[in-house]
Amino acid sequence: MRGLHRFAVREGLVADDASRDVKPPSLPRRLPKALEVDEVLRLLESVRGDGPLELRDRALLEFLYGTGARISEAVGAAVDDLDLTGGSVTLHGKGGRTRIVPVGGYARAALDAYLVRARPALAARGPAVFLNARGGPLSRQSAWAILRKAAGAAGLPVEGTRAVSPHTLRHSYATHLLDGGADVRVVQELLGHASVTTTQVYTLVTVERLREVYATAHPRAHS
């Protein structure tokens, strides 16, 4: 209707835009999609085999969930950004901002196996951690395809509103940290959010989770 009124004024059909002061409705806040912990484990364990590509795929999935990195940060990571001995990685985020985040033991083990046993076999061209079959840096599209294939193998949705996407592991990382008692400010730093307001949407997810647990577990949750 607002567009129609603007068109009518522009075409000289009416003198004034009657919709000028009408504010559009606020869109409902969409909560991030997060996997349950057991679903993440199924996803991470779905990649089988010890070939170079299987080791790469397993390392990529562990890296995404173990660091909360955006897909662009993962494919943009260089070998020199990794400090597996110290258990950290430097991620290059939006707006040229960098941050150092810890890397857990499972991700370190998967990365070490990939770097030692697989990456040299891919005839690396350039500093990127994750390489394609020709030795060049892995693209975002290819990383998405790896995740989609793993999700299908794990029996997780790959179509529709609940489909696993590259951001799903990032959402799951944040939600599981908060569920485990992490402070929202710490999660903000780990995710590289400029404002804590962006991070606080995950607290809504955990509140919903608490309600679900309460509704199913408390004997007097329902009248």
For residues 4 and 17, give the distance between their C-alpha atoms in angstroms, rounded to a whole number: 9
Q: How many other β-carbons are positioned within 10 Å of the β-carbon of residue 8?
A: 16
Residue with tokens 């040229």: 96
Catalytic-residue membership of 170: yes
Catalytic residue among 65, 114, 173, 202: 202
Catalytic-residue membership of 176: no
Catalytic residue among 56, 58, 108, 193: 193
Catalytic-residue membership of 33: no
For residues 127 and 78, the answer to whether their CB atoms sit within 8 Å is yes
Tokens of 72: 């662009």
Torsion of CA 58, 59, 61, 66, to 10 degrees: 140
**Can you say how many angstroms the Cα of residue 36 is from the centroid of all Cα atoms in its chain?**
14
Catalytic residue among 70, 108, 119, 176: 70
Task: Quote the strand ranges of 59-196, DSSP E.
Answer: 82-83, 88-92, 98-102
- Reference 111, options 82, 154, 80; nearest CA is 82
Q: How many other β-carbons are positioned within 10 Å of the β-carbon of residue 201?
A: 15
For residues 45 and 47, give the distance between their C-alpha atoms in angstroms, rounded to a whole number: 6
Catalytic-residue membership of 92: no
Catalytic residue among 56, 170, 171, 176: 170
Catalytic residue among 6, 94, 125, 185: 94
Catalytic residue among 33, 42, 149, 167: 167
Dihedral class, residue 123 (left if φ above 0, else alpha if ψ from -120 to 50, else beta): left
Residues with a catalytic annotation lie at 70, 94, 167, 170, 193, 202
